Structure 1
Amino acid sequence: MLLVGESTAGKTRAAFEAMRLLLPDYSFLAPSTREAVEVLLEDWGAIGDCVVWLDDLERFLGPGGLTLSALHRLLAPHPRMVVLSTMRSHEYNRYRDRAEHDVTGVEQDVWRQGRSVLRQAQVVQLERRWTVPERARARVLVADPRLSRALAGGERFGVAEMLAAGPELAQAWQHAWVPGHHPRGAALVAAAVDARRAGYHRPMPADVLQRLHDGYLARHGGPELRPESFHEALVWALAPTVPAGANSLLLGDAAQGYIAFDYLIDLPAQEPILEALWWEVLERAPVHEAYAIACNAWLAGSFEPAYPTFRRAAQAGIGQAEGILFELGMPLRPAEEALVSAQRRLNALRRELGDDHEDCLMAESEVATFTAHCGRYEEALHLSNELAHKAASVFGSEHRLVLGVKFGAAWSTFASGAQHEGLVMLDAAVRESTRVLGPRDMAVLDRRWWIVQLLVDAGHVGEAKRRIRALESDCAFLAANHPITVRVRRLADVLRHSSLDL
């Protein structure tokens, strides 16, 4: 069961009260972190009827946490077990099917695993603003001054939203940047909010926030803002906006650390996350969580912090990370060893989920890719053709995986020695990808780069030079440090210094 709604819509309280009313005799288990899900599964057989409580479900999704496999292991032995969870609308919408075209290679596996779990849920949408009948029923309880104040707030905000003081907290944060008010406090809150926007949903120690907030203070004016002391800033950020209220801009204490109130995370028009914060949270997060955060950093254009995390994730056995490193030209180990690991993962998934499950099909694509990197082109071509047909029947012919596998088949054809036929296939695959995904899609640009590289390796320098000029022009919209821009620039430099023009 999954309750979905905007921040402060009342999801957590509604789920908790429903559980108390309907399942009063069930045991209650609440994993605190992504890693705790795996710990829970280790002793799962001895547990009777219970509710597994996953507030803010996005914190638990992905490798090392709640995958479809882990969910099956939770549910299979216990027909009377309930997974009760909540999720903010902003996070839930990231996993909708229509969002799939916006997800490229780096984030695709994390997104796909999360989407697979959400497809199993019975979803209840909880609206932020109450209906007229709901407000009428609530007015019967006007003896509660907190409820009276929330109902008096008009219909612009939800009642639960007003009870949580969300709009007032957002306004207090915005006004705090005024010189002489609480600019250092606002910077502390900004750092804590960005940690959660990055995907790090754990409390941050005060000394870490103190170190990180300087960049946010400088962004808004630094000393010209006449900032207060750090102690004053922290006291202000922890003070309830409403007397005796439960919520403040930062929640927590010195012993446990501090975390930003979640209402602030989804506010519109927020500035880019500072690179120093990406480095910090990636270093602090456990490896599976760090991998998901690194994917977020990559998509946000902070590439340098992501590289070492992809390597750490690959060393921890996350196959998707190893595939990313190979595609970036930064392999962790020889292709032969990577292929053996990919085949092991595929076999394990087939035993658990069956041959045609989407996780198995994605794992098959990794096996085909590593087979090609081993120089076994005929075998890779056979695997790719077989997978393209199977995946098209599951996903449809225009799915990203199918388009990628078709390009892989063309790549193997060219590399096997059938260069004319292979080039025709490569161009056809890129045209189809361009039609479906658009000319600026990263996968399209990456495939065009690979064609140029294949032409260079085959000695067709003249054709490579022609294509690299067009690709340089079409990549002009990317940042100078974008990995595709860097690879295109390096290959263009090699070709410019080449005297050959075959």
Structure 2
Amino acid sequence: MAGKTRMAVHLLQLVYPDRLVVIPDAPDGLAALMNAGEIPDNGIVWLDDLERYLSDASNLRSKWIERLQEAGNVIVATMRETFYESFQLGESLQRTQWATLQLFDLVRLKNESEERSALAAQIPDPRIRQGVITYGLGAYVGGGHLALQRLETGRTTNPVGAALVLAATDWQRSGIGDSIGDSIACALVPQYTDSDNLEPSPDELAAGWTWATAQVVGGDAFALLKRQADGSSRPFDYLLDHVSRSGRPIPALLWEAAAAADAPAGRLNTAGLNAVTAGYEQLAARFFERASEQGDVEAMANFATTLERGDRIPEAKALYERSAEGGSLQGMTGLAVLLEREGNVLQAERLFKKAAEGGIGDAMANLGFLLMGRGEEEEAVDWYRRAAEAGSGFGMTNYGIVLEKAGDIEAAEKLYRAAVQKRRNGAGMYQLAKLLSGRGKDEEALSLLQDATRAGNPAAMMELGTVFEARGEEAAAEKLYRMAADRGDAVGLFVVGRKLLAGQHYAEAERMFVRSAGRGYVMSTFWLGLLMQQTGRRAEAVLQFRSAAAHEAMTDVRTLLYIAQELEQEDALPVLRKAANLGSVFAMQQLGILLDRSEAHVEAQSFHDRATVGEERLRQSAGEGDTEALIELGQISADRRDFDQARRLLQKAADQGSAYALQCLALLPPEPGPL
């Protein structure tokens, strides 16, 4: 009733007056036409209320639009704004209909106040004039205002009838169907009345149906509910748009009824997506599961996502595989995520690229993540930006991280908050939590960490695990670490690997370290060497130590010093140089000694001189109570076999809370007993 169909007809008559117009029946008329090979030539294909064709992806395919265009046809469609928004990309539950919509050039009818005022000025009747100013000429004259007034009045004069209308509008809003059956509508009436949820009597229901279906609105032009051929009832479109704009939530019992209703796979999938947005994720899983059983590949991808979030990873992978094999780009994205976690990076990248080129925002973001990991930063950032523009919460988060590192904190926070608005976007929650924690907003940050963990973000799981561990809640912390490791988080794999190694579960610990090291976490390479050393594989351990020391990310001085002790002099020298360049006085002293043995006296003296200056600096810091200075001076004293001095320094560091100092103390020779 807003004039969109009238405008399209008028323009087509002006521009293409001699063309044949083909109007396929909704919803599957175009599918029947295309499957039969009856393709019009140089005509106009008219798809009024496009959402009727898009409700099931099998009724309108992108390739059909392209074939019609190749045959010289002009394809024209109309659609209300609320339906257009409902088909837009979600955070992680995508749909193929959006790709089809992108083939159309979008023309929006803008109901501007200046235009309404100009039209109203030409109307003598003050009531109509005010109606045009308030609602616009098309909607008002078409009867939308009158329909809304009748519905609002009916809440008092005929609450059962108004409830039937509202139930029908919410049924369509859920996505399960355009029209509602009588028995379902009647059962839902108590949800929309103020009668303490009492069941209406048969007479009240009969009177309600009579009122709702009476064709008395807009000069007897239409009714609030229109009876369909199958006996179901469809609400007047203007009421549907009004209720949708109001933001009023759909009652839980209607979602329950929709989840149990018979519907084609496309409808079930759409209803599942809407249920996710409304916060009914368990019900959404039921919609997706039922649609999957009917063979809908998009529903398979969506159901796989719900399984993955419930830690049912093997089941999710199997369903992603079926979805991807069926051509779903979202299925390919989900499968690629799991493959990448398993270390199958090449296959994951191939799937990410195919899905990204198909317009899937999450695939773009994941592809950027892989490229960033191997140093292709410029291309990675471009994919992050494109993913953010495509509406991917993951893309927004990663692009926000890039901006944050560049110093644009305000823009980064804006992106993080936009990502958080994408339901269950754990990455955005985690990054925003870190930002807020840095500002001292610990309570809000902790709440976001918990939400991010529930959303399946492994980094948040690790962070929350450390919080629980600090509280002494070891079991809860270990569960979180395990969850992060199951999702392929490098640090989670490392932490779980260390715990397994402590329990002498060598084979399982080794698998964890190998996977973590493969994801670039250098400490796992070092610990893999320790494991091999403990299990008698000395030569393999040395290779791991060398690899860890050479890694650019290895900046832990204590680890470097340990590695240097385990290597032969020739291999130890570059490791000690690295530790010395990181400021280790002990490494400087050891380098001086080793270089003297190699008769590189000039270079040795330079390190002796640097060590002397560094040791004096350490003594000043230790005198001020610096824990790290106390530990390093203690190690230097122990190396000089001044064990009494070493004990005093290390004990002081231990008294200040250093666990490492306690470990060093335990390695010192025991104090001599009394004679």
TM-score (norm 1): 0.66
Listed one character per residue, the Cα deviations across residues 11-48 of structure 1 (whole Å, up to 9, x for unaligned) are 12333455567456624323322x44433321133545
Question: Residues of 1 paired with 2:116 and 2:284: CA distance?
Answer: 48
Report the alpha carbon displacement of residue 187 of structure 1 after superposing the two structures with TM: 0.7
What's the CA shift string for 1:271-300, capped at 9, x where partnerless? 210122223334333101210111011111
Which residue of structure 1 aligns with residue 187 of structure 2?
211
Inter-CA distance 48–133: structure 2 relative to 1 (3 Å threshold):
farther
Kept in 2: contact 1:250–1:258 (CA 8 A)? yes
Match of 1:432 in 2: 401
| Kept in 2: contact 1:51–1:82 (CA 8 A) | yes
C-alpha distance in 2 between matches for 1:317 and 1:253:
27
What is the rounded CA distance, in whole Å, between the counterparts of 1:105 and 1:289 in structure 2?
18
Question: Are 2:332 and 2:355, in contact at CA under 8 Å, matched by a contact in 1?
Answer: no
Quick one: distance in 1 between partners of 2:262 and 2:474? 39
Contact kept in structure 2, 1:241 and 1:247, CA below 8 Å: yes
Deviation at 1:184, TM superposition (A): 0.7
Q: Percent identity?
A: 21
Query: Can you list the C-alpha shifts for 1:298-354, whole angstroms capped at 9, x where unaligned?
Result: 1111122211221223331414235424423476975775465355345xx8xxxxx
Counterpart in 2 of 1:275? 252
Give the AA of the match of 1:474.
Answer: L
Amino acid at match of 1:54: L
Whole-angstrom distance in 2 between the partners of 1:269 and 1:323: 32
Report if aligned partners of 2:320, 2:332 keep a CA contact under 8 Å in 1. no
Distance 2:280 2:356 in 1: 34
Give the superposition deviation at 1:386.
6.2
2:169 matched residue in structure 1: 193
Checking the alignment, whether the CA contact within 8 Å between 1:195 and 1:277 is kept in structure 2 is: yes
Q: CA RMSD in A?
A: 4.8
Relative distance call for 1:47 and 1:221 in structure 2 (3 A) is same
Match of 1:474 in 2: 448
Structure 1: distance between partners of 2:52 and 2:170: 15
1:85 Cα offset (Å): 1.1
Is it true that 1:382 corresponds to 2:351 in the alignment? no
Change (3 A) 1:382 1:24: same
Q: How far has the Cα of 1:190 moved from its partner?
A: 0.9
Specify which structure has the higher proportion of helix. Answer: 2
Match of residue 495, structure 1, among 470, 475, 486:
475
Aligned residue number for residue 369 of structure 1: 337
SS for the counterpart of 2:249 is coil
1:430/1:442 Cα in 2 relative to 1: closer, same or farther (>3 Å)? farther
Q: Which residue of 2 aligns with 1:88?
A: 80
C-alpha distance 494-276 of structure 1, shift in aligned 2 (>3 A): farther
SS in 2 for 1:44: coil
Report 1 or 2 for greater relative contact order, CA contacts < 8 Å, sequence distance ≥ 6.
1
Q: Does 1:118 align with 2:92?
A: no
Q: Name the counterpart of 1:104.
A: 91
> What is the one-letter code of the residue matched to 1:72?
E
Q: Which residue of 2 aligns with 1:169?
A: 147
In 2: Cα distance, 1:193 partner to 1:156 partner: 23
Count of residue correspondences:
417
User: Matched residues in 2 for 1:165 and 1:176: separation?
Assistant: 16
Pair 1:311-2:292 in alignment: no
Aligned equivalent of 2:655: none
Alignment match of 2:23 (pick from 5, 23, 29): 29
Checking the alignment, whether the CA contact within 8 Å between 2:333 and 2:362 is kept in structure 1 is no
SS in 1 for 2:234: strand
CA shift at 1:251, angstroms? 1.7
Candidates 222, 240, 252, aligned match of 1:265: 240
Could you tell me which residue of structure 2 aligns to residue 452 of structure 1? none
CA distance change for structure 1 residues 370 and 265 in 2, over 3 Å: closer, same or farther?
Answer: same
Distance change in 2, residues 1:313/1:393 (3 Å): closer
- SS of the equivalent of 2:103 reads coil
Residue ranges of structure 2 left out of the alignment (5+ in a row): 374-396, 403-411, 431-442, 480-495, 500-675
Q: Which residue of 239, 244, 249 corresponds with 2:214?
A: 239
Structure 2 SS opposite 1:285? coil
Q: Is the 8 A contact 1:249 1:261 kept in 2?
A: yes
Give, in angstroms, the shift of residue 72 of structure 1: 2.1
Larger radius of gyration between Structure 1 and Structure 2:
2
Provide the C-alpha distance between the structure 1 equivalents of 2:79 and 2:267, rounded to a whole number of angstroms: 17
Please, which runs of 5 or more residues in structure 1 have no aligned partner?
Answer: 1-7, 350-358, 412-427, 450-468
Q: Could you say what secondary structure the match of 1:259 adopts?
A: strand
8 Å CA contact 1:165, 1:241 repeated in 2: no
CA distance in 1, matches of 2:239, 2:197: 22
**In 2: Cα distance, 1:50 partner to 1:340 partner:** 40
Change (3 A) 1:93 1:204: closer
* Partner Cα separation in structure 1 for residue 25 and residue 474 of structure 2: 53
- Mapped pair 1:156 → 2:120: no
Cα deviation 1:341-380 (Å, max 9, x = unaligned): 355345xx8xxxxxxxxx5xx565344235347x4x2xx2
Instruction: Tell me: CA distance 1:330–1:53, structure 2 relative to 1, closer, same or farther (3 Å).
Output: farther
- The Cα of 1:385 is off from its aligned counterpart by 5.1
Structure 1 segment 315-394 matched on structure 2, within 5 A: 315=293, 316-319=295-298, 320-329=301-310, 337-338=318-319, 341=322, 344-345=325-326, 364-372=332-340, 375=342, 377=343, 380-384=344-348
The offset of 1:123, in angstroms, is: 3.1
SS at match of 1:126: coil
2: CA distance, partners of 1:82 / 1:184? 46
Contact preservation (8 Å) 1:30, 1:53 = yes
Please say if residues 50 and 79 of structure 2, whose CA atoms lie closer than 8 Å, have aligned partners that are also in contact.
Answer: yes
Partner of 2:269: 291
Deviations 1:396-454 (A, max 9, x none): 9xx5433344568999xxxxxxxxxxxxxxxx9698398644373555427989xxxxx
Structure 2 counterpart of 1:415: none
SS in 2 for 1:176: helix
User: Given the alignment of the two structures, is residue 13 of structure 1 paired with residue 6 of structure 2, yes or no?
Assistant: yes
